[in-house]
Structure formats: C-alpha cells, structure tokens
Amino acid sequence: MNASRMFVLIATMEANMCLQMNTESNSQLWHNGLGHLSYDGLSTLASKQMVIGLPRITAPREACTQCLGGKQHRHSMSRKGVWRASKKLLLVHADLCRLIKPTSSSNKRYFLSFIDDLTRKTWLYFSNEKSETFSLFKNFKALVEKEAGESIICLRTDRGGEFCLKEFEEFCSNQGIRRQLTVAYTPQQNGVAERKNRTIMNMVRTMLIGRQVPKIFWPEATKWCAHILNRSPTYAVQDHIPEEAWSGIKPFVDYFRVFSCLAYVHTPDQHRSKLDNKSKPCILFGVSDESKAYRFFDPTNKKIIISKDVIFEENKGWIWEQSGVENHLEIVVEESSDSQSEPKEEQPESQVVRNDSHTPTLEIPAEGKAKRNRRKPIWMTDYEEWGNIYNDSNISAMLAAETDPVTFEEAIKSKKWQEAKGKEMKVIEKNQTWELAHALKDVKPIRVKWIYKTKLKENGEVEKFKVRLVANAYA
C-alpha cells in the first residue's frame, strides 16, 4: 500500500470517528433533552418516525452516569441454572418469618418453615425467640428422615443470624449436610421459602379478616394454611399434590371445614352433671396434630378442645367483640372426646343411704352436712371384665403383633411367615392375580412389596398371620 492510499484511509477513518463522535454527542443531547429517555426508546422514535425532527440516534460507548445514579436496578434472576432435586430431602429450603405482632395467645412470635424441594411439602414450627431455630431444625430433621428413609443432603437458607450460629454450622458439618447461603440482601436466591411464607401470610390475613378473628390466633390460622397448601396443586409438582408426592398416599379432604366457623361440640358425660348442656358453642381452629379429630376454641372458658363429636354451622361465626378473649387469655388444652375423669356429682346437703338392716338412715358428717357414699363409676366395670381376658399368652401375642416384620429379609427368618407367604402365592396363582412378563424397554416397571400383619381376635389371641403381595408404585 503506497503512501497516498494510506493517507486517504487514515483521513477517512478520522472523518468517520469525528462523525460518530458528533452523532454520539448529538444523541447524548437528545437523551438528556428527553429526560434521559433510554437509547432504545430514542432509536424507536427515530427509526419508526413516530415524531418529526428527531435525527438518527446512536447509543454512546460510555454509560450515562446520571442514569446509573437515578435508575440502576438489580439484575433479574436467571432461570437457566434452575435445578430441581431428584429425590426427597436432597435439598431443603428453610426460612424464619420475621417478627409477627401481636404475640400469639401462646406467646409465639415467629414461625419457621421447611420445604422439601422435590415434593414441595411444607412443615411449620412456631417459636418465641430466633434462638430456638437450631433446636427446631433438629426436631424437623429427626422427623422427616425417619418418614422418608433418606437423609437431608443440603439446606438452603438466608444469612440470618439464627442460621449462622457456630453450633448450627458444626452440627450440619458433622451430619454431612451441605449449606447453601444466599448473597446478602438477595432473598430471591431463597425464593421457594420466601414465596411460600408470603403465600401463607396472605392466606392468614384473608382468613382472619373473613370472620374478624383476633390476630392473636395467627398461629392457628397459619397451621391450617400449611395443611391446605400441602393438599393443593402447585406448578412445581406435576399431576400430584405435595402430600401425595411425599407420602405416596392420596389424601382425603372431605373433613375440611371453613376456618373459624361456629361449631357445637359435644360435652362428654365425665365433664358435666345431669342437668348441664350436652354441647357448647366453639370456634373451629383446624385439625389436631396428634388425634384424628378437630381442634376448637371455647371462647367462654378460654380453652382449646380436641374433639370429633361436633355439629358445624359453616355459614356462621362467633361475635368476637362481645367475648373479650384478648384480655388475660390463658389457654389450656382439653381432650373432650377421650377424657376418663370422673363425672361431676351433685353435692346435696343430705343423702339417704341404706344400712345392713335395709332401714333408711340419714348419714350426717362431722361438718354438719350429709356425705354421699361414693361408688365406683359404671364405666370401670368394662375394664375389670376385659382385664381378666388378657392373660400372659395373649399379651405376648399382642406385643408380637406390634413388631410385625417390615422387610422381606426379616420375614424370611420366621417359619410362620414363610408358611403364610406360601398360602398367599397359592391364592395368587389360583386367581391369576399376577402375570410374569418381561419389562418393556425404557419403561419403569411397578415394583411389588410384601405386607405382614398379625391378626388378633377380640380376646387378644392370634387369629392368623396375614401376608399380602401389593403394588408399590412409589418405590
């Protein structure tokens, strides 16, 4: 290339640079003049001739510092790296909901949520202080690992002090639990737990407003919301609800009732005298964690009652303004259906009793008032009669029934279970229940499982050893 051509090329480049600089400078003027409208917006206005008099716009190579100072925002979370667990407890999301006011009727101020990444089932724990988080996690770990037969592999939380305690970190390290901590002030990295807590709180507010329930009962509403969400569809789990995905059992929901609706709970004979009412109006607060029964609040006596003997009026609620339950509320739990306390007895001032001569006499105690001769309650006779039936051999049979084998390896060691399995196989072959076939390619076969159960008679004796071969679709 000769000198003249080189000169022309350099001159052309300098001219283009000057033109570009002038264009960028002009573009910056229009950018500032139009209130720091984005360069994409300016280009759209010019290219599509939406306005008259706007020249061609070229975005400058340097960022506008004024725009950065006034309009810079955080980057959205990328969905390209979204990862899902392939088995239960491979990843657990946890979050402690911030301080809730007012303090609940049981002095709770926080709730701690745990969500399994695969099934999206949620567990809730309530606490008075943040410092209880570590002990609640250990309780959760023991529960779910026994239920799932798996160990927690990874725990994802924010960097809250309750999750970053030295003892918490040492415990996870010793248990082989890997920690995933979010970047400071980036709660969206723990989005599963954050969204779940937001969903729960939205539901809680709605239910409390619906029947004007005092806010001190927020844990009752929160627990019921989690119960509902575990039995509701979610986009994260296709064609299953979290409870079924976790347990492998499709749950019933026919027992669902409107939260805080009016309910008339039956009062057992042991808790009332002859002329007392046989029912009391209460408010439904969900279901019991320990019993197959409902959980109610008695606003008159300020008690939590666990009962299954109830008649609901779901379209009615309690008039809370007149009950004043928020003042000096001390709640105790009363097992309404299963109580075995003695019935209330009237205390008359005098009582006629009969002596050995069958002559009516009046027994007057030293205090000057008649005293009733107490007899053993009628319901105790049932225990006496049945108590004679259970001898040592029957008790041994009942204990054996409670330790039925769970696995094939356990049952194969016992002759009685081998014989029972032989009978079951004969029935299967006779009825042609199962048919052996080669598994198709790329199709996961449904596994089978042996179920063992000792069947007892009413008196506790062994009736038979029952063995069944069943499909285990969720294995």
Provide the mean pLDDT of the chain: 77
Amino acid identity of residue 211, one-letter, is R
Q: Which two tokens stand for residue 319?
A: 């008039």
As a whole number of angstroms, the distance between CA 65 and CA 85 comes to 43
Residue ranges in 236-310 assigned as alpha helix (H) = 242-247
pLDDT value of position 149: 94
Beta strands 303-307; 332-335: pairing state: parallel
Q: What is the C-alpha to C-alpha distance for residues 180 and 158, in angstroms, rounded to an integer? A: 8
Could you report the per-residue pLDDT of 218-250, keeping only the tens digit for each? 999 999 999 999 999 998 998 899 999 999 999
How far apart CA 61 and CA 2 sit, in angstroms, is 33
- The per-residue pLDDT for range 322-373, each reduced to its tens digit, is 666 654 444 455 555 444 444 344 444 333 333 443 434 334 444 444 445 5
Which pLDDT belongs to residue 350?
Answer: 36
Q: What are phi and psi of 61, to 5 degrees?
A: -80, -20
What is residue 367's predicted lDDT score, i.e. its pLDDT? Answer: 45
Helices 39-47/3-33 angle, 10° precision? 100
Q: Strands (DSSP E) along 250-341, which ranges?
A: 261-266, 279-287, 294-298, 303-307, 310-317, 332-335
Q: What is the DSSP letter of 234?
A: B
Measured CA to CA, the distance from residue 444 to residue 221 in angstroms comes to 42
Q: Which domains does the chain have, with CATH numbers?
A: 3-70 (no CATH), 92-247 (3.30.420.10), 261-335 (no CATH), 347-385 (no CATH), 392-472 (no CATH)
Peptide bond into 55 cis (omega under 30): no
pLDDT on residue 356 = 42
Both structure tokens of 299: 């606003």
**CB within 8 A of 379, min separation 6: which ones?**
340
Rounded Cα distance, 362 and 121, in Å: 67
Query: Which residues does the chain have with pLDDT short of 70?
Result: 1-27, 29-31, 33-35, 68, 70-82, 322-402, 460, 473-475
Spell out a b/e string for 372-404, using b for 16 or more CB atoms within 10 Å of the CB, else e.
Answer: eeeeeeeeeeeeeeeeeeeeeebeebeeeeeee
- Judged by DSSP in three states, 229 sits in helix
Amino acid at 253: V
Residue reference for tokens 């979204």:
82
C-alpha–C-alpha distance, residues 152 and 164, integer Å: 18
Name the phi and psi angles at 177, rounded to 5: -95, 120
CB 270 within 8 A of CB 328: no
